[in-house]
Amino acid sequence: MSVFLLRKALQMLGECKLMVRGNSMEPSIKSGDLVIIRAKPFGSIALGDVIAYQSGSSVVVHRVVHQSDTAVYTAGDANVLIDDQPITPHKYIGKVEQVQHQNEEIERPVPKYKRNCMSLANRAYMRSRNSQPITIWLPKHLVDHYTLNLKIRSHVRYKIFHDPPPELLSGSMRNSSVGVSPWGLYPEECMRELLPRISNIFFMANFGPAESGYFPATHLLATVRIELFQIPKTPQEAFSQVSDTFCYMLGLLEEA
């Protein structure tokens, strides 16, 4: 169904069924499921709600994971990054409150889904106190263009990279590595939980799906959003936060 017809149906009927294609909302909503979209005001959206919004000529069904005064930010339950576009009232279509799974005739409420910091920490490898210091991996373009405070610290070492290390791509680093990004899905308190356990932090890499040429966020245990790192409106605004966030992250490491 086109975005125009969907909006028209919601305007006339107040709700509409749409078949989902894709796996980004698994396990809550699977490809082939029918979702029931209802016309609800943008101001009624709360964290954890599943909404439908317009992305180009397509309709996306994702969960709200972050809010600002003028927009909401979403992610699929199976994704590892916040969607990189703010959802404003203009893009918003409606709330997804029920789902009809394949081979079922009844409609069920969309399951709640919460990313749990403790369960994430339990998946991480535990670092012993006598182990190697935490390695902070820095993209070469970041070091070339921005001044970062890379002074020597006993508990930290730095590695500058151009391409993701082979160990990460092989999966052997997954349970010991997190990424720090403005689009990170886990909040700062999760970073504090994870620091005693992880061995690697990939800072401000160009995270995304590996098959599209990005740094492979799916090969990390998680992506974290430090509170100083606000969702940027432009690339220039994103990079203006880099130095402060980097220093703040080093402070977190000293506390851990």
- Rounded Cα–Cα distance for residues 110 and 189 (Å): 27
Same domain? For 200 and 239 the reply is yes
Same domain? For 122 and 238 the reply is yes
Q: Which tens digit of pLDDT belongs to each residue from 188-232?
A: 888 888 888 889 999 988 887 666 678 888 889 999 988 777 766
Count up the domains in the chain and report the number: 2
Q: Which residues have CB under 8 Å from 143's CB, separation 6+?
A: 160
- Give the burial class of 207: count Cβ atoms within 10 A of its Cβ; 0-12 exposed, 13-18 middle, 19 or more buried: buried
- Rounded Cα–Cα distance for residues 91 and 51 (Å): 11
Residues, the chain, total? 256
- Structural domain containing residue 104: 3-109
pLDDT at position 194 is 87
- Rounded Cα–Cα distance for residues 204 and 226 (Å): 11
pLDDT at position 256 is 67
- 36: which strand partners? 17, 98
Same domain? For 85 and 194 the reply is no
Which residues in the chain land under pLDDT 70? 125-131, 209-212, 231-232, 256
- CATH number at 177 reads 3.40.1280
Return the biggest CA–CA distance within the chain: 66
Domain boundary among 64, 88, 109: 109
